[in-house]
A and B are shown apart, each in its own frame.
Chain A
Amino acid sequence: MRIVWLFLSPLIALVAGVLLLGLSRKIMARIHWRYGPPLLQPVIDIIRLFSQRSASHGILFDLGIVVSLAGSLIITLFLPFGNIAPLSGSGGMLVILYMMLIGPLGIALSGGESGNPNASIGISRNLMLAIGYEVPLLMVLLAVMTRYGTISIVEIVRVQQASTWSIASWPLVVSGLAYLLVMPAMLGFRPFEVVQAPQEISSGPMVEYGGSYLALVSIQHALSLYITISLFVNLMLGGSGNIVIFLFKMLVVFVLFLFVNAVFPRFRIEQAVRYLWRWPTLIGLIGLVLVALVGR
């Protein structure tokens, strides 16, 4: 059974991620009073991209993408999904945190190899934004791990199932607030959509990607949406023992941030980092201090 889930859970994550991507385009269109593309438009795009002949800039240009997607696929094995987490016993939260680096790093290496300054600017923005939101995020994660006294995400979900959601429990509610504030930055939604910024830097790291490269990046993007939201649901909204409820929670969180995405313009990277290091960090720090004071 475990073997089956090992292959099935990345697939479910993939399907869920691509559907979220399609849904986002549809919902955004409806907010703009447009009819919008069909729900499966991302699938159509990916099929089209795979059948195109594209240009490659070198071995790292190919390998970076492959590694990035592979890394993202693997994280889904570590994140509890409903009550399933095939590989969660191999390192806990710390491994997840590190594995979440592989996706962006793979794209960064591949984009750097393309030799286009737009890509380099995009990557530099991506890394700066990452260190911007990692500061509050790490505070939140450490608050959660210290509060529950474990680094195992399955354990964290189990404790929440037994008592109450983290975001509804006393000291962690502060951390939960900080987490909510950094979520748009983690998802790459506006007002933090500085990395791709098609109007400024021609979609940043992806500027030289066409055909199958762009297809893999789209899939990776879908997966990273899934991973980010699923991490939030697991840590803050108590995960779930049931796949359907889990996906429903994810959908709610996603739509919530989509609304933020739809109405905001874009920060400059500098403003984004300043914002992230001001309010979310302050709230995250208060949350961490509270957890350290209250203890387990």
Chain B
Amino acid sequence: MDRNQLIKWLEAPAKMGHKYSLHAVYFCTGCGIIEVPPSITARWDAERFGVLPTASPRQANLFLITGYVSVKTLKAIIRTYEQMPEPKYTVGFGSCPINGGMYWDSYNTIKHLDKYIPIDGWIAGCMPRPEAIFVAVTHLWTLIDKDMADGYKRYRKYYSQYRANQEKVLLGLEWPPLFPIEAG
């Protein structure tokens, strides 16, 4: 830990904590999850970046959307995202969450994920290699440093729009709104 780091730690311990302790939800949304086991085990060792899979969204602050998102998965994604404590960061992993990828013309695939939950960054590729996850993580560090990883703030701010989009595609949700929705 050099001197620069130490000063940053003293200035904003919370921010540094968020940077170096990214605990990811252990939630396989699609085929991209196949890249996660190698990245957390001996070959690539994500733990040296402070990235660790956790069992429950309550304990996590990083959400990797790994692979294509069907309508059914979207519901679980929204639920999981809402249960994560703030601040939380979302990363879309692979081409599919970005624009539907090879399922671009499927009736049941979500093509614009960021209409339903805010995404802080994307990793393009089909599949991206595990190294790409680390590139993403280091990029996320920069974003957190510059306060640009503000997806959770956007979600709070534009919740009524997000909720409306979600209800439109999912034909209603079984749980009450997370934040109060202002009329109109």
Direct contact between the two chains A and B in their complex (CB within 8 A): yes
Residues of B near A51 (CB, < 8 A) are: 13-14, 17-18
A146 at the interface (CB under 8 A from B): no
Question: Which chain B residues (66-101) contact chain A, with CB distance < 8 Å?
Answer: 83-87
Residues of A near B83 (CB, < 8 A) are: 55
Q: Which residue of B lies closest to A118 (CB)?
A: B56
Least distance between B28 CB and chain A CB atoms (Å):
12
A47 touches B13 (CB 8 A): yes
Which of A53, A54, A55, A203 is the one whose CB lies under 8 Å from B54?
Answer: A203
B85 touches A210 (CB 8 A): yes
Residues of A near B84 (CB, < 8 A) are: 210
A207 touches B58 (CB 8 A): yes
Give chain B's interface residue range (CB within 8 Å of chain A).
20 to 34
A210 with B59: in contact, given A44-B20, A47-B16, A48-B18 (CB under 8 Å)?
yes
Least distance between B18 CB and chain A CB atoms (Å):
6
Taken together as a complex, chains A and B put the C-alpha atoms of A262 and B14 apart, in Å, by 32
A29 touches B45 (CB 8 A): yes
A209 with B58: in contact, given A32-B42, A33-B42, A55-B83 (CB under 8 Å)?
yes
Residues of A near B48 (CB, < 8 A) are: 29, 34-38
Taken together as a complex, chains A and B put the C-alpha atoms of A55 and B83 apart, in Å, by 8
Q: Which of B47, B56, B83 has the most CB of A within 10 A?
A: B56
A206 at the interface (CB under 8 A from B): yes
A44 touches B45 (CB 8 A): no
How does the 8 Å CB contact mask read for B16-42 relative to A, with 1 for contact and 0 for none? 111011010010000000000000011
A52 at the interface (CB under 8 A from B): yes
B59 touches A41 (CB 8 A): no
A249 at the interface (CB under 8 A from B): no
A208 at the interface (CB under 8 A from B): yes
A221 at the interface (CB under 8 A from B): no
A211 at the interface (CB under 8 A from B): yes
A45 at the interface (CB under 8 A from B): yes
Taken together as a complex, chains A and B put the C-alpha atoms of A202 and B26 apart, in Å, by 10
Taken together as a complex, chains A and B put the C-alpha atoms of A33 and B45 apart, in Å, by 9
A55 with B85: in contact, given A35-B45, A48-B61, A203-B56 (CB under 8 Å)?
yes
Interface residue tally for chain A (C-beta within 8 Å): 33
A214 at the interface (CB under 8 A from B): yes
A36 touches B17 (CB 8 A): no
Q: Which residue of B lies closest to A114 (CB)?
A: B58
A to B CB contacts below 8 Å, 29 in the list: A32-B41, A34-B45, A37-B50, A41-B20, A41-B47, A44-B16, A45-B17, A45-B21, A48-B17, A48-B20, A48-B21, A49-B17, A50-B14, A51-B13, A51-B14, A51-B17, A51-B18, A52-B61, A52-B85, A52-B87, A198-B55, A199-B55, A203-B55, A203-B59, A206-B56, A207-B55, A209-B59, A210-B58, A211-B85
Q: A44-B20, A209-B58 are in contact. List 14 more A-B contacts (CB 8 A).
A: A25-B47, A29-B47, A37-B47, A37-B48, A44-B21, A45-B21, A51-B14, A52-B86, A53-B86, A198-B26, A202-B55, A203-B55, A203-B56, A211-B85
* A residues at B contact (CB < 8 Å): 25, 29, 32-38, 41, 44-45, 47-55, 118, 198-199, 202-203, 206-211, 214
* B residues at A contact (CB < 8 Å): 13-14, 16-18, 20-21, 23, 26, 41-42, 45, 47-48, 50, 54-56, 58-61, 83-87
Of all A-B residue pairs in the complex, the 3 with the closest CB atoms, nearest first, are A48-B17, A51-B14, A210-B58
